[in-house]
Chain A
Amino acid sequence: MYKLTQDEYEKYRGALFRHFLPDEPGTSRDGNRRGEKSAAQELIETKQKSIQSYFNRFFRERKGETNDHFDMNRVKYDDLGIPQDTGGLNRLRFKGENLGVIPTQLNHVPPWLYRHFEYAQYVALQFNQHQKFQKLQKLRKLQKELPIAERAEEIVELLKTNQVLIVAGDTGCGKSTQVPQYLLKAGYTGVACTQPRRIACTALARRVAFETLNQYGSEVAFQIRFETTKSQRTKLLFLTEGLLLRQMEKDSLLEKYNVIILDEVHERHLTSDLLIGLLRDLCSKREDLKLILMSATINLDLFKGYFEGAPVVQVPGRLFPIDVRWHPIKQFIEQSEKKTHKIDPEPYLRILELIDKQFPSTQRGDALIFLNGVAEISMVAEHLKNYAEQTKGWIILMLHSTLSVEEQDKVFDQAPTGVRKCILSTNVAETSVTIDGIRFVIDSGKVNLIKHEPGTGTQKLTEFWVSKASANQRKGRAGRTGPGICYRLYSQEQFEKMEDFTQSEINRVSLQEMSLKMISLNLGLDPRTFPFIEKPSEDVLNEGLETLKFQRVLRSDRELLTLTSLGNMVSKLPVDVPIAKMLVYGCVVDELEVMLTVAAGLSVQSPFTNRSYRELEIVERRASLTSPMGDPFTLIAVFREWVLQKAFEGTARRWTMENGIDEHRLYEISKLRAQYRQILEDAGLVEKATAAETGEDDSRQRRIDQGEKKKLFDLKKSQRNNDRRQKVLNANKHFDKILEDKEEEDLEAEKDPLKADVKTVEFLLSHKQRDVETIRKTHKISRRTAEVIRVIIAAGLYPNFSILDPVNKYGYGQEMFAHTRLKPFAQIHPNSSIAQYHPESIDPRQASDGFSRLHQIPFYGLLLETTKPYICNVMPVPAVYSLLVAQKIVIEEEWTELIVDDFLELKFRNSENCRSILLDAKEIRYELTKGLATKLVGDDGFSSRRLTKYIELLNQSIVEKGIELAIKRNIHPPKVLTGNGIHSPDGGIDKEEDVDDLVQRFEKNDPSTSQTNDDIEEEEQKVMDELRSDVMCPPTRDMVEEDEEKKKKKEVPKESYYEKLLKRQAAKEDGKEKDHKKPKIELDDVKEEIE
């Protein structure tokens, strides 16, 4: 019998711990300076704790007594190796090297206590092993219990003998996580699995890597737009549908994959429909390729029919039982046809009250409300917030795609005990986002869908009843983690009346971009004859093709669908046609930097957060960033300011918050810029930066880069490796206040440059001082450049332009009508820079006869119809700019009137004015075409100087020479424009040279084109000089700006951007700021003073 007293143990404890488990070097007891412990130190502390608790138990349960001698040398074994006495150590699976040998410095410790301590330490080790083993065991058990697990072998066997396999299973069956693993186990090495959403790619890759015990390796990887974890070792890759499609452009046989899994095909996205068709075709070209389609069980027959003979493995889903309760709202039944009713939040409140009454707050479970749109969500949320503030029983949150990423993330945080969270969501929570712990679903039965309206170019956002399939999907969200309840705010009769499935995308959207994609694959595909899984409407398809022809992307002179040279280029860029055209023109006029920003900015959501439009303080503060020239210019200013804040001030986070900007959007813009630049460089449209320019030839710079890259790598890695820790929500903070804590935290972190987050490091790494300088310089736009940029943006957006209403008052808070060719009485979106800050800048201030120098026509990026038709991304330009981009110009008899596209009529005071303007316009048109052709041929012979000069000249004729015009709108323009070209009064039509004609000529190297350039330029210079020396002619804005610039430079050589911001702020508070709102094009105020 051995005995140990507490006192004896306490006496030697310190020495023993120091010997066996010394603290990690450099750690004090309460962690290091930054309050974080290293993983190794944490491990040591766990072990220390578990040894301590072993001895505590030993004293408590066995009173410090045992028969174990813990001495290896005394044990006798039988023939099977079973010990004949229990010496303690015999229950240890592993042993130390010097078991039982006491080191000299511990000679004062009794040998038995030393051996006992040694034993305790190994028990701790063994306990750790055991826990890890159990974790693995539990994981395998969960996998085995999934409904799909029974079919694992069948799936692998079927794939051996079949090329195509359909796996159909509902929510919770485990198909998305398990099927790819079965393939890996069966030895497949090039597996691609597509997902409709980026978030699913990363989440699945993470989960599958965990389950295949390759969490920290790269056998399982994901690839989304800007991020990949792919390496040489990758065997299974989760990627978005769009990316796979893009890979097909380069490698039409997709030879790097031997199995392709298309997941969630039942959602019927445009890209997945296209991929299904393309891959079915690919299967006949590559016999070694295996294709697996995974879908829910709805509409399974459609896929079975499309892949005739393919075996189907059908698996039941797994959900907890859900109780459906019908709570129809009367008003819906009465006025279901009426479009503009406002939502009544009462019924939703009543359901929350019902939940509070029926379920004690000790029972956990959150609520999810499905509503159709953001307006409805805000309305109901406000109402519920009042209730929540009274009862303290709920936290009200919102979820929709226009929220910032941080706000969206909040729905995953946990509510504190006794409080439930209530999430108001659009249909994104139906499939895209899965929130655990939902017990109550409240379904409005409504959804907003974007529908392309053929014939008007409008995207129409309309409220619909959901389909049965999506109503059931919504219901299912209540039963993921336990039994749940679904409250449907409509009647069972209504449910029976609903469509079975939601209309697929191919039947809802414009097919122009998809058609372009198909043609650009170079597989000789024609969307009109392509065997789609569901044939799209022929009208919509033809309309799409016609639009492409009108945009000069498709050749209109051939029956076979062929891309023009411009089309070839445009299709390489992963953006919509108008934006791609802007980029290409940006290369032509050497304004790539700015155009990269505009193009990227127009491809992402607005950087201004939705919330910020309602906060007066923010709206006022950011006024100085907005431009009277429209949203693209506001975007340029915002991006420039942010880059400077990022690079020089290190207070970008604060700045974005103060200005209501979602920083993620700006990061996206900066990444997109890099991507577009890369593509344009690869295509030879711009020159690659040389090593000297990028600093790659500088060894010091290289070393710095290396260090930063390493840091970024570590940061990313640790961010990925750190499991997202669930945070607990604050019970008093609802959707409008949830970010407060996070914002404070971020601002605190920003003060310490060492705590830079991944995105900041990534940004700084990709933006060298030189890049920042370039942005700083190029994004500060002089008037001269601004005009060029306006012209090329207009050239990209064309034919999306509108005519202002002659009787509309364009002032603050007014409804601002703008008539597009096919959609009269559209409105300028109230959130656009023009409507919110600079409405006066589009007011023509015409005389009673309608003549003015200031007539403008707004170009726009998108025509979106919600409650009203709105034009978004608005950029007004002088009306005569229409002459630069239009496809049909008719000159009226007297040479005083020009009719543009049978829609816009420009009337001049006299024929000289008209002739001079048209002459300039024709020059610019020719220069644009020539420049484009030269670029597309790959020649750098083109100089944009002449183009710039003509644009300047044209502009001077209006602003300075004072050519006035009146504009009129043809109220009934023909739907289709025919007879393109410039029509003279004598009946002659100047067809002008097409880009492709020029391209052909340039390729033949015809020297006749660029001979007389020098003469013309000289003459040109004369005109310009004359203009400048004319005393009567007021100084151009350039001159004024140059002067100002000079002055400024002398006065304050190096003012920090933050100081500037503060000053601006102060200036505003002083009263009416003097000039920052003054639109650059409005020169007449100045002029009047001079005159």
Chain B
Amino acid sequence: MSDQEPCTSSTDANEKPPETLVPNEEQMIDPFIDFECHICKMKERSLFGELKVSDGKYDYPVYFMRDPFKPPSRDKIKKPCLDDFLVLGAPCSACSQPVCMSDGCSLFFGENFCAPCVSRERRRFPPQLIRGIITKYEAEHQ
């Protein structure tokens, strides 16, 4: 997670010995993986795994990142909560392919299902629940 503070300084133009922009060793161990939704091809660098925080948890591993739109909490005592993160997607519980959270790509009902699996197993779901995702999916894949 990259929530370390940037070094802000108001130095002058004449710099100290050249700081290299090459990553140091610590950064070489990269916990990030590429997440790619197999339906809409959305691609992001993200973390993968269980997300369990003070006010809730996902029952299955998800692709997630720290909420990029919010400044990192400066309060060290405060425990992280779900709102500190952004969940991008999760593997489909039926076909195990990664799928994003978008309404057109996945549906959550008891488990996470991708659009093709919902479409295939449509008889098993309550009809009004899956109408939206099926129309969207079929409109794009014809």
Contact B2 A256 (CB under 8 A): no
Contact A80 B124 (CB under 8 A): yes
Contact A91 B14 (CB under 8 A): no
The answer for the CA separation of A678 and B2 in the assembled complex, in Å, is: 33
Quick check: is A375 within 8 A (CB to CB) of the other chain? no
Contact B14 A682 (CB under 8 A): yes
Given known contacts A78-B124, A80-B93, A213-B68, A235 and B21 CB-to-CB distance under 8 angstroms: yes
Contact A257 B21 (CB under 8 A): yes
Give the chain A neighbours of B11 by CB distance below 8 A. Answer: 226, 228
Given known contacts A133-B86, A137-B42, A721-B71, A229 and B6 CB-to-CB distance under 8 angstroms: yes
| Chain A residue at minimum C-beta to C-beta distance from B112 | A93
Interface extent on A, as a size class? 35 or more
Give the chain A neighbours of B86 by CB distance below 8 A. Answer: 129, 132-133, 136
Quick check: is A77 within 8 A (CB to CB) of the other chain? yes
Give the chain B neighbours of A64 by CB distance below 8 A. Answer: none
List CB contacts (< 8 Å) of A496-547 with chain B: none
The answer for the CA separation of A55 and B117 in the assembled complex, in Å, is: 33
| Chain B residue at minimum C-beta to C-beta distance from A99 | B56
Give the chain B neighbours of A80 by CB distance below 8 A. Answer: 93-94, 111, 113, 121, 124
Give the chain B neighbours of A1066 by CB distance below 8 A. Answer: none
Contact B14 A217 (CB under 8 A): no
Give the chain A neighbours of B18 by CB distance below 8 A. Answer: 247, 250-251, 255-256
Quick check: is B39 within 8 A (CB to CB) of the other chain? no
Quick check: is B127 within 8 A (CB to CB) of the other chain? no
Give the chain B neighbours of A86 by CB distance below 8 A. Answer: 126
CB distance from B100 to the nearest CB of A (A): 8
Contact B67 A132 (CB under 8 A): yes
Quick check: is A96 within 8 A (CB to CB) of the other chain? yes
Give the chain A neighbours of B22 by CB distance below 8 A. Answer: 189-190, 256
CB distance from B1 to the nearest CB of A (A): 10
CB distance from B133 to the nearest CB of A (A): 13
Contact A133 B8 (CB under 8 A): no
Q: Which of A78, A217, A255, A679 contacts B3 (CB 8 A)?
A: A217
Contact A94 B12 (CB under 8 A): no
Q: Mark A1003-1024, 1 if CB is under 8 A from B, else 0.
A: 0000000000000000000000
| Chain A residue at minimum C-beta to C-beta distance from B82 | A125
Contact A233 B27 (CB under 8 A): yes
Give the chain A neighbours of B12 by CB distance below 8 A. Answer: 225-226, 671, 674-675, 678
| Chain B residue at minimum C-beta to C-beta distance from A133 | B101
Give the chain A neighbours of B124 by CB distance below 8 A. Answer: 78, 80, 82
Quick check: is A221 within 8 A (CB to CB) of the other chain? yes
CB distance from A49 to the nearest CB of B (A): 14
CB distance from B112 to the nearest CB of A (A): 7
Quick check: is B72 within 8 A (CB to CB) of the other chain? yes
List CB contacts (< 8 Å) of B74-121 with chain A: 74-75, 78, 82-83, 86-88, 93-94, 100-102, 108-113, 121
Q: Which of B51, B58, B68, B83 contacts A43 (CB 8 A)?
A: B83
List CB contacts (< 8 Å) of A628-676 with chain B: 671, 674-675
CB distance from B47 to the nearest CB of A (A): 12
The answer for the CA separation of A229 and B9 in the assembled complex, in Å, is: 7
Quick check: is A392 within 8 A (CB to CB) of the other chain? no
CB distance from A271 to the nearest CB of B (A): 13
The answer for the CA separation of A88 and B30 in the assembled complex, in Å, is: 39
Q: Which of A78, A80, A137, A574 has the most CB of B within 10 A?
A: A80
Give the chain B neighbours of A251 by CB distance below 8 A. Answer: 18
Quick check: is B140 within 8 A (CB to CB) of the other chain? no
Contact A133 B87 (CB under 8 A): yes
Contact B111 A95 (CB under 8 A): no
List CB contacts (< 8 Å) of A80-127 with chain B: 80-83, 86, 90-97, 122, 125
Contact A215 B69 (CB under 8 A): yes
The answer for the CA separation of A96 and B15 in the assembled complex, in Å, is: 51
Give the chain B neighbours of A232 by CB distance below 8 A. Answer: 7, 19, 24
CB distance from B52 to the nearest CB of A (A): 8
Quick check: is A716 within 8 A (CB to CB) of the other chain? yes
Tally inter-chain residue pairs, CB-CB below 8 A.
175
Q: Which of B6, B82, B88 contacts A133 (CB 8 A)?
A: B88
The answer for the CA separation of A228 and B75 in the assembled complex, in Å, is: 25
Contact B110 A77 (CB under 8 A): yes
List CB contacts (< 8 Å) of A934-989 with chain B: none
| Chain A residue at minimum C-beta to C-beta distance from B24 | A232
Quick check: is B65 within 8 A (CB to CB) of the other chain? yes
Give the chain B neighbours of A215 by CB distance below 8 A. Answer: 68-69
Quick check: is B23 within 8 A (CB to CB) of the other chain? yes
| Chain A residue at minimum C-beta to C-beta distance from B42 | A140
Contact B125 A97 (CB under 8 A): no
The answer for the CA separation of A1005 and B125 in the assembled complex, in Å, is: 97
Contact A95 B102 (CB under 8 A): no
Give the chain B neighbours of A243 by CB distance below 8 A. Answer: 13
CB distance from B122 to the nearest CB of A (A): 11
Quick check: is A1088 within 8 A (CB to CB) of the other chain? no
Contact B8 A679 (CB under 8 A): no
Q: Which of B7, B24, B102 contacts A230 (CB 8 A)?
A: B7
Q: Which of B2, B42, B101, B113 contacts A219 (CB 8 A)?
A: B2
| Chain B residue at minimum C-beta to C-beta distance from A722 | B71
Contact B56 A226 (CB under 8 A): no
Contact A129 B13 (CB under 8 A): no
CB distance from A762 to the nearest CB of B (A): 6
The answer for the CA separation of A233 and B59 in the assembled complex, in Å, is: 34
CB distance from B123 to the nearest CB of A (A): 10
Given known contacts A90-B109, A93-B112, A129 and B101 CB-to-CB distance under 8 angstroms: yes
Contact A213 B65 (CB under 8 A): yes
Contact B21 A256 (CB under 8 A): yes
Quick check: is B4 within 8 A (CB to CB) of the other chain? yes
Q: Mark A204-226, 1 if CB is under 8 A from B, else 0.
A: 00000000011111110100011
Given known contacts A140-B42, A682-B14, A81 and B56 CB-to-CB distance under 8 angstroms: no
Q: Which of A77, A83, A93, A136 has the most CB of B within 10 A?
A: A93
Quick check: is B20 within 8 A (CB to CB) of the other chain? yes
Given known contacts A129-B86, A233-B4, A674-B12, A81 and B21 CB-to-CB distance under 8 angstroms: no
Q: Which of A97, A133, A191, A214 contacts B2 (CB 8 A)?
A: A214
The answer for the CA separation of A438 and B15 in the assembled complex, in Å, is: 40
The answer for the CA separation of A990 and B106 in the assembled complex, in Å, is: 92
Give the chain A neighbours of B14 by CB distance below 8 A. Answer: 246, 574, 675, 678-679, 682
Give the chain A neighbours of B87 by CB distance below 8 A. Answer: 93, 129, 133
The answer for the CA separation of A190 and B23 in the assembled complex, in Å, is: 9
Contact B9 A190 (CB under 8 A): no
Given known contacts A83-B109, A133-B87, A190 and B56 CB-to-CB distance under 8 angstroms: no
Contact A135 B69 (CB under 8 A): yes
Quick check: is B57 within 8 A (CB to CB) of the other chain? yes
Give the chain B neighbours of A94 by CB distance below 8 A. Answer: 51, 56-59, 82
CB distance from B131 to the nearest CB of A (A): 15
Contact A81 B42 (CB under 8 A): no
Contact B69 A233 (CB under 8 A): no
Quick check: is B10 within 8 A (CB to CB) of the other chain? yes
| Chain B residue at minimum C-beta to C-beta distance from A572 | B14
Contact B56 A95 (CB under 8 A): yes
Q: Which of B15, B88, B112 has the most CB of A within 10 A?
A: B15
Contact A246 B8 (CB under 8 A): no
Given known contacts A82-B109, A221-B6, A130 and B20 CB-to-CB distance under 8 angstroms: no
Q: Mark B17-42, 1 if CB is under 8 A from A, else 0.
A: 01111111001000000000000001
Q: Which of B23, B74, B111 contacts A189 (CB 8 A)?
A: B23
- 8 closest residue pairs by CB, A with B: A218-B6, A213-B68, A675-B12, A81-B111, A231-B7, A190-B21, A83-B110, A217-B2
16 contacts between A and B (CB under 8 A): A80-B94, A93-B58, A132-B86, A133-B102, A136-B88, A190-B22, A213-B44, A216-B72, A217-B3, A226-B10, A226-B12, A229-B6, A233-B2, A233-B4, A246-B13, A250-B18
With A94-B59, A679-B14 already in contact, 5 other A-B pairs whose C-beta atoms are closer than 8 Å: A217-B4, A217-B6, A226-B11, A230-B7, A255-B18
